Amino acid sequence: MTAVQSPPPLTDLSRDDLVQWCAARGYPPYRADQIRRWVFEKRAGGFEEMHDLPRTLRTTLAAEMQLFSTRILRHQMARDRTEKLLLELPRGGQVESVLMREPRRRTICISTQVGCAMGCVFCASGLLGLERNLSKGEILEQVLHVARLLAPNERITNVVVMGIGEPLANLKALLPALGEMGETSGLGLGARRITISTVGLPDAIRELARCGKPYNLAVSLHASNDELRNRLVPVNRPIGIAAILAATDDYFQQTGRRITFEYVLLGGVNDQAQHARQLAALLADRNAHVNLIPINAVRELSFRPPSEPQTERFIELLSHQGVTVTVRKRKGADIDAACGQLRLAGGETSV
């Protein structure tokens, strides 16, 4: 018996695709813009809510497409109102998405892969290995699900591509998804409100620079020399820090965007004075920003965060050498906050 195929997700269609779909069914182009407005701006939960569309069009949409092909398995909210979703994907697998609230920002963190192949030894995201890349629609649906957690007077201000997976290993799906977010008929987010994180893949960094959009780039460095980085980030072995820095220099030259270097502080591992001095030397004469991240404790891993005085000493040494440095605020500390934790715990029903 032939398996019944599910309708394709609406999020796989660009505006032009949707215009063509409408035209093939006898509807003018403005109907495509109405549909997209309901999806991105009005945050409709289903086609039946799109009351300014003809009933026949709503019926056809429901029969031929899915608004959401992904399903919320679990929903957590922290005391600071950070919210985290575990989503089940139509082709199998689970990913996480996070809403972070600050006084003037509503930031969404999204995933790009089911699992991760980079092998960072302190990260929960890759403990189960890499299963597959996400599609454009699966990336976009994360944004739509999280946007529906917002109050009517709230809107998404920023997107960070820092969830599960290596974003630059899935540029084929990521760039079209980000393009949809930037469309005026999408979220209308400028490239400068979008940050893409990478473990540091030089060829892909240069490919990203050539896309013509000045996205913010954050490189997960985590070590100040190759010997240490080879242990913490195994994918570094055939690459090396020098090649990564050369690629980020090219990115800065092409986009004018200052590079952020993320550095997870691991107590007793990469948080010593010599590491701070080496890091400052690497970034000397570069327009760079260091974002220090004291590690979140993860049950499955043995690493611990540094003491507060040790963190302050690390900051002081970098600042003294002229490096711009900040410490990432901990969000959602009372839930499974680190990337991959909720997926490792498994999903039940929403809470």
pLDDT tens digit sequence for 237-285: 999 999 999 999 999 999 999 999 999 999 999 999 999 999 999 999 9
The secondary structure of residue 266, as a DSSP letter, is: -
With a CB cutoff of 8 Å and minimum separation 6, the contacts of 236 are 200, 223, 226, 229, 230
Secondary structure class of 245 (helix, strand, coil): helix
pTM value surpassing 0.85 = yes
Domains within the chain, CATH numbers bracketed: 14-64 (1.10.150.530), 71-345 (3.20.20.70)
The mean pLDDT value of the chain amounts to 91
Residue 265 pairs with which residues in a beta bridge?
A: 294
**Banded model confidence at residue 49, pLDDT cuts 50, 70, 90:** very high
Residues 337 and 342: their CA atoms lie apart, in Å, by: 8
* Cα dist from 170 to 173, 199, 249, 276, 312, whole Å: 6, 13, 22, 32, 36
What's the pLDDT tens digit per position in 109-134?
999 999 999 999 988 777 778 999 99
With a CB cutoff of 8 Å and minimum separation 6, the contacts of 119 are 126, 233, 234, 235
| pLDDT the model gives residue 133 | 96
CB 148 within 8 A of CB 45: yes
CA 266, 269, 274, 275 dihedral sign is negative
**Banded model confidence at residue 339, pLDDT cuts 50, 70, 90:** low
**Marked catalytic residue, from 109, 120, 123, 339:** 339
Burial 334-347 (b: 16+ CB within 10 A, else e): ebbbbbbbbbbeeb
Residues 240 and 92: their CA atoms lie apart, in Å, by: 34
Instruction: Based on the residue annotation, tell me whether 96 is a catalytic residue of this protein.
Output: yes
**Marked catalytic residue, from 96, 166, 180, 262:** 96
pLDDT over 50 at 348, yes or no: no
CB 279 within 8 A of CB 290: yes
